[in-house]
Structure 1
Amino acid sequence: MEDSYYRLLAQRYLEGTLTDNELEVFIHLLNEGKMDTYLKEAINAEMGITEENEAELQKTTNIRHMRNSWLKYAAAVIVLLCVFAAILINRLPSQQPIAASRVKHDAQPGGNKAVLVLANGDSIILNNASNGQIARQGSASISKVQNGLLAYKSTGADTANAMNTISTPNGGQYNIKLPDGSMVWLNSASSITFPTAFNGTTREVTITGEAYFEVAKNAAKPFIVNSGTQTVQVLGTHFNINAYQDEPGIRTTLLEGSIRLKTGSQSRVLVPGQQTLVSGNNIVLQKTTNPSVTTAWKDGLFVFDDTDLPQLMRQIARWYDVQIVYRGKPGEFAFVGEIKRDTRLTSVLKMLEASGVRFSIENKQLIIQP
């Protein structure tokens, strides 16, 4: 009897159809750890996760509970498409999960979308282009190798290099192999401008938004990345730059090698694991960070590490191409965990609603009522 009742509660929780009395019972059972198995089963069933899938997750843990005077519990370690998803929250849920009546638009996740602008102003929508060579610029051939990857190959030296720009929309991402063999991953709402051949004494590019670089080594030609007020110079290394205008500053994270970061009169050399925040002409060294958190987006994951609600929602807005609207103050939340980026928006919101934040979706607006 208990099994069937607990399964019913878990299913109604995900559907947003719990009555007030049932929600009170659900919270009580959740706090006691009695809903762990049933909630996980219900989510697995909804997301199409099989027993074979779950068998691969040897290190996955169930819902965890932390108790002290200010943190009642931490809820919702959720198995989602073979990814461990843990959402740690700092208060009891005060609202039911997102219900169908509050969903007038369910945003699909982003994908490989970008536009290439050639030196002559012509535009090519890369997600519509066929694989193979799509253009030539001077001595450089430009080929779409596969969906999500564009490659440049220089066949000679140009006296004047053509400048190209690749930009992604909200809900887009793309991977570029530059003429020198360096690899660049562009996140949503981002761009990179670069020459079709690096013929000078440096290899210089300019970005907006967020980009991850794996720079081909060439000691004779330093690689330079311009983003806003900062310049990063490297010889060959792996690093990530987050330069969105709606973020508090330009965040640069080094994974491998070393880089020299400059802004105004300030300069700093980073070692692997370090991260800087540039605001105006000031460089602030952040705490040593886990680089995999910063670069998870290029591997198809949202990874949250004590992420507050506004920062989390900025990521959601760019990837799902929705506008975030707050009805009240965001509240004090800290999220920790992983969610695959190929998950539809309502499934993500069901997990986040365990925190007590209430969402509704109307057309392209995601309305938040903390």
Structure 2
Amino acid sequence: MSTSQDHIIYLWNRFVAKTATKQELDELFIYLQQTGNDNTSLELIQKYLGSNTIEEIDREYWLNKAGEITEENTGIVHRVHFLKTAWFRYAAAILIIAGIGAYLWNINSKVKTEDTKIANTNTIKEILPGGQRALLTLADGSTIELDSASNGQLATQGSSKIIKLEDGQLVYSAKPPIPSRGGVVSPDGETGVGSVQRATNTMSTPRGGQYQLTLSDGTKVFLNAASSITYPAVFNNKTREVKITGEVYFDVSKDPSKPFIVKSGSDQLTVLGTAFNINNYPDEISKTSLIEGAVKINDQTLKPGQAYSQGKLTTTNIQQDIAWMKGYFDFNGADLPSVMRQLSRWYNIEIKYSGKIPDVKFVGKLSRDLNLSQVLETLNDMGIKYSIERTTLTIK
């Protein structure tokens, strides 16, 4: 075995053991990328180390590591050209040596087939990404379109003021109710059984919308597209209860005396103060992911880094679960239907399949600020044929 091969085997051993430095990884990945197409790298590894080493690779660990290295080297995060260059050099090499097969978002864009180019060359009206859009429905049935409403105080419910901030957030500012023998006395002197507390409002986002909300107790809520939350203008003295649909992120204000309860479909979550994400779209498998604190869902308790789905607790990739609220899509490991569902909700488009659904897996991240045409460039790079007419995207 030549000296150069000795060195590659050395780098490989460091790679499998997770002890390789950034410089060593860079050297190994470049070599593998250059030789991966003719299987030279696999033959070398299998000849001198045995094929069993392929199974020893922690694929998810190294895919994440590749992203970290590239982010540090380029300083560019979640951009299309970023995904097509440096990150894919690393990720593609990992996919090659991990035996996964050809990586799907090919950085060698020159190999696009002419058929795919022709099939996907459409003159279409540009479809913009989603934005800060939501509808507020008050207890009396009146509605306020938040994206077109002026900043400042929008309404008053008892002692609760509803205020729209400049950065597209809605805040409830309320003084806590005062208990009395006859029921509840609000800070403004109104006596009753909690008229303000019975004032239940609903914030809902359309497809192509998202919005942030601060409840009267200080809890911060972030709604993804096609989602909703129903909540009281002021919480009562015992519990804080809300109901949600779609996907919602919570950062709950701590108050041990008042458990925070979230009803999501058939699930009920109870927390005291914590951060978590709930994905409960009708076309997705319901999933609750815990970022910090503790959550009791039905009869099970989640720990940070865990998710609850279909009655089971599992370890989850938190950063991927909350990527949407940080402004990007994390498609690592996702299949085509999963990616299309996310794009459908954010760009408010309809997805159709005219034939067999391509069996592909995605890697990488995309900014949610991109126009749809920029996102669809990735399908071109993968050789996936599609057509788009108005707001309908058809995968062929």
User: What TM bracket, shorter-length normalisation?
Assistant: 0.7 to 0.9
- Structure 2: distance between partners of 1:77 and 1:337: 12
Distance 1:74 1:246, change over 3 A: closer
Q: Equivalent residue for 1:366?
A: 393
1:232 to 263, 269, 275: 269
**Contact map agreement 1:105 1:364 (CA 8 A) in 2:** no
* 1:305 aligned counterpart, secondary structure: coil
Q: 117, 135, 142: which one pairs with 1:122?
A: 142
Q: 1:97 to 1:341 in 2, by over 3 A?
A: farther
Q: Matches of residues 72-151 of structure 1 in structure 2 within 5 Å?
A: 72-76=102-106, 95-97=115-117, 101-151=121-171
- Distance change >3 Å, CA 62–CA 317, structure 1 → 2: closer
Residue in structure 1 matching 2:308, options 272, 276, 279 = 276
Higher mean C-alpha deviation, range 323-332 or range 110-119: 323-332
Greater displacement, 312-321 / 328-337: 328-337
Q: Any idea what the Cα deviations from partners look like across 1:343-362, whole Å, max 9, x if unmatched?
A: 00011010133222212110
CA distance change for structure 1 residues 232 and 93 in 2, over 3 Å: closer, same or farther? farther
* Amino acid in structure 1 at the alignment position of 2:343: I
**Alpha-carbon spacing, 1:156–1:233, altered in 2? closer, same or farther (3 Å):** closer
Cα displacement string for residues 150-199 of structure 1 (whole angstroms, at most 9, x for unaligned residues): 00011342422200000000000000000000000000000000000012
The one-character-per-residue Cα deviations of 1:34-84 (angstroms, maximum 9, x if unpaired) are xxxxxxxxxxxxxxxxxxxx9534995453344477613443469xxxxxx
- Counterpart of 2:210 (choices 155, 173, 182) is 173
CA distance in 2, matches of 1:98, 1:269: 53
Q: Distance in 1 between matches of 2:293 and 2:113?
A: 44
C-alpha change, 1:322 and 1:96, in structure 2 (3 Å) is: same
Helix, strand or coil at the partner of 2:381: helix
Instruction: Check 1:55–1:270 CA distance in 2 against 1; reply closer, same or farther (3 A cut).
Output: closer
Say which SS state the counterpart of residue 351 (structure 1) adopts.
helix
Contact 2:247 2:277 in 1 (8 A): yes
Cα distance in 2, alignment partners of residues 149 and 135 from structure 1: 15
Structure 1 CA distance for aligned equivalents of residues 158 and 124 of structure 2: 49
- When residues 115 and 269 of structure 1 are mapped into structure 2, their CA distance, relative to the original with a 3 A threshold, is same
Greater strand share, structure number: 1
Q: 2:280 aligns with which of 243, 251, 254?
A: 243
Tell me which amino acid in the other structure corresponds to 2:328. Answer: L
Q: CA deviation at 1:208?
A: 0.5
Residues 94, 202 of structure 1: alpha-carbon distance in 2 compared, 3 angstrom cutoff: farther
Listed one character per residue, the Cα deviations across residues 121-171 of structure 1 (whole Å, up to 9, x for unaligned) are: 110000111111111112100000123200001134242220000000000
Is contact 1:212-1:241 (8 Å) kept? yes
CA RMSD of aligned residues (A): 2.8
1:194 and 1:206 in contact (8 A); partners too: yes
| Correspondence 1:317 to 2:344 | yes
Q: Which has the larger radius of gyration?
A: 2
Structure richer in helix, relative to its length = 2
Is residue 73–residue 92 contact of structure 1 (8 Å, CA) maintained in 2? no
Q: In structure 1, what residue type is equivalent to 2:309?
A: L
In the alignment, residue 114 of structure 1 is paired with which amino acid? Answer: A
Within 2, Cα distance between the matches of 1:338 and 1:327?
A: 27
Q: Gapped runs of 5+ residues in structure 2?
A: 1-33, 39-72, 178-185, 187-193
Contact 2:262/2:270 (8 A) holds in 1: yes
TM-score with structure 2 length normalisation?
A: 0.70
Structure 1: distance between partners of 2:308 and 2:327: 24
Aligned-partner Cα distance in 2 for 1:329–1:204 = 44
Count residues in correspondence: 300
* Residue 215, structure 1, aligned to residue 252, structure 2: yes
Unaligned runs of 5+ in 1: 1-27, 33-53, 79-86
**C-alpha distance in structure 1 between counterparts of 2:261 and 2:364, whole Å:** 33
Residue 71 (str. 1) matches residue 106 (str. 2):
no
Q: Which deviates more, 105-114 or 348-357? A: 348-357
Check conservation: 2:120, 2:386, Cα contact below 8 A: no
Pick closer, same or farther for the CA change 1:100–1:342 going to 2, 3 Å. same
Local SS of the residue matching 2:358: coil
> How far did residue 285 of structure 1 move?
2.3
Q: Sequence identity of aligned pairs in percent? A: 42
